[in-house]
Chains A and B, each alone.
Chain A
Amino acid sequence: MRRYRVILALTALAAALIVPLVAGQFWMTLITQIYIYGLLALSVDLLLGHAGLYSLCQASFFAVAAYTTAILEVRYGYPTLVAAPAGLVAGTLLAVLYGCAVRTRGVYFILITIALGYIIWGAVYRWASFTGGDNGITNVPPPSVAGVSIASQTTYYYFVLGVVILCAFGYRILIRSPFGLSLRGIKGSESRMQSLGYRTTMHLYAAFVISGAIASLAGVLYVYYNRFINPVAASFQISVEVSLMAIVGGSGTIVGPFIGAGIFLGLRNWVSSFFEMHTAVMGIVFIATVLWAPSGIAGFIGRWRGDGAKTKDRP
């Protein structure tokens, strides 16, 4: 089974590497977008799939990171080497602040994160003098490091691919560490984990901040990809959509959020070309997943491949 997975991973990597050579501009930019949203969905899934927390303010970290980078680049002319890390830090700091939400649980946690998300959306939407309001920040320059500008979309594609692969490996180490086990234990039962000596609230707080940092990284990648940012990036809709991507793709896995992002963005692009109510199609896809593949596409494929023997006897 392990060999099978390695072959599958290498095939996927090879396919990802040749995309710019065989596919046109349209596909390449769509797939870049899938990587970025997949990374954002992965950040949601650290909380949802591992710790069992349903955070609905991930768009806030994404947007604050993207806005910070965009404003520093466009308004103040800072170089990428300052603007990009600053965006990452700003989004992560917001997660350090918003992490206080882990003092609540269940539906209160969901409601608080929705409210926290609206604060950022309201700020970027209404504070027009600073954020550009509804128009957002336009003309973000392509990233440039040491005088070399990554203006080509192909180069940026490979750059995003590299960052995403590094993140996936880091994420894998994280979830297989004692900390990852602690999060899965907390998802199983928080009070039992406390009785085993775990300071669970601190662990959830740490997971929240790490998740915010990953979302911020996705935000920085996004603003250089899109070259433009507006309040939609901070919206509740984005937070919900990336959660759905994680669930549809397969919560609790690493590839799942990326598969989910692919399905969502792929379908949206395809369906919206001939059907106006494409969001209704998204809704149907989501319902079908919950009904027939509750562990997402990744879980469905896993079962179909036959390593379900392990999961089957789980009640």
Chain B
Amino acid sequence: MSSPTMSSPTMSSPTMSKPLLTVSDIHTYYGDSYVLQGVSLTLHKGQIAAILGRNGMGKTTLIRSVAGLTPPRTGDIVYRDISLRGKPPYAIAQAGIAIVPQGRRIFRSLSVRENLMLPTSVLARSSRASNGRQTGQRWDFDEVLKEFPQLAERIDHPGGSLSGGEQQMLSIGRALMANPEMILMDEPSEGLSPRLVLQAQEIMRRLRARGHAILLVEQNLELALSVADEVYVLSSGRFVFHGTPAELAKATQVLDQHLGVSGAKMI
């Protein structure tokens, strides 16, 4: 947050405005292994970009690179004109990026209420960062509980006592409580029943309608194609495809070689 001057993107259609997030040619190592080998992408306000790929291709590392948990060795990540390079995770969170981590990593020993209140604490917010943020979307406790009524019933239970689906809702609800402009979602559908996958899909659409940008990492091709505006396919640390969901559905060679599905099954 070295430069407090944050330009407000124009109000025109999202694709015309300046991107919210620009990842330029990042190379990220996980210990000694060279995971992301030059990845670039852009994401606009109110858009969902899905990152697809098999296990071990670097999808989670991409999320962790943006969140500052595994900083890239070279390349740059720019969020609303601010370079996130070298910024610690807490500063990135305060700038308006929330993460829904893989495997619903909620705080098991804290109550549902405490889990939800964590991002709103004065200790987690920097006034400088939130002042400049343009928020067409204001989430608060009541609003989140309205979105996830299951949580309201168990509000004072420890997070660890919730079912898998409820934990996922809590994880998303917790991210919303920070009023982020951008949400990084790491396989939100993992381990959810088909009914809950539909609910997750609904939620993502509503979040997009409210102006949130979502960087979605998914293994569930159907889910990703149904919500995403843009799709990237990651293979061995590089993007091998970038296009719209409709384009991907036709790219049988990419589907077959990098995602392990035959194009025929898709349609």
Contacts and interface: CB of A to CB of B under 8 A. Distances in A.
A4 B15 CA distance: 62
Interface stretch (A21-29, A185-193, A241-249, A264-272): A185-193
Contacts of A315: 108, 160
A178 B89 contact: no
A97 to B, nearest CB: 24
Given A194-B93, A197-B93, A313 B161 contact: yes
Contacts of B94: 197
A198 B90 contact: yes
Contact of B174 (A182, A196, A203): A196
A192 B107 contact: yes
A197 B107 contact: no
A179 B67 CA distance: 23
A153 interface: no
Given A196-B118, A314-B109, A178 B123 contact: yes
Contacts of B89: 191, 194-195
Contacts, number: 88
B110 A196 contact: no
A182 B115 CA distance: 10
Given A179-B123, A203-B123, A195 B110 contact: no
Interface residues of B, number: 33
Contacts of B107: 184-185, 188-189, 192
Nearest to A182: B123
B257 to A, nearest CB: 34
A200 interface: yes
A313 B163 CA distance: 11
B121 A178 contact: yes
Nearest to A313: B161
Nearest to A191: B69
A196 B105 CA distance: 12
A310 interface: yes
Contact of A181 (B101, B121, B158): B121
Contacts of A185: 107, 110, 118
A195 B93 contact: yes
Given A179-B123, A184-B110, A200 B158 contact: no
A210 to B, nearest CB: 14
Contact of B105 (A192, A194, A311): A192
Contacts of B118: 181-182, 185, 193, 196, 198
Given A192-B105, A197-B125, 13 more contacts: A178-B121, A179-B123, A182-B121, A182-B124, A191-B69, A191-B89, A197-B90, A197-B119, A197-B124, A198-B123, A310-B158, A313-B157, A314-B161
Top 3 A-B pairs ranked by shortest CB distance?
A197-B124, A197-B93, A194-B89
30 contacts: A178-B123, A181-B110, A181-B114, A185-B107, A189-B105, A192-B101, A192-B105, A192-B107, A193-B118, A194-B69, A194-B88, A194-B93, A195-B67, A195-B89, A195-B93, A195-B98, A195-B99, A195-B101, A196-B98, A196-B174, A197-B94, A198-B121, A200-B90, A203-B123, A313-B157, A313-B158, A314-B109, A314-B158, A314-B161, A315-B160
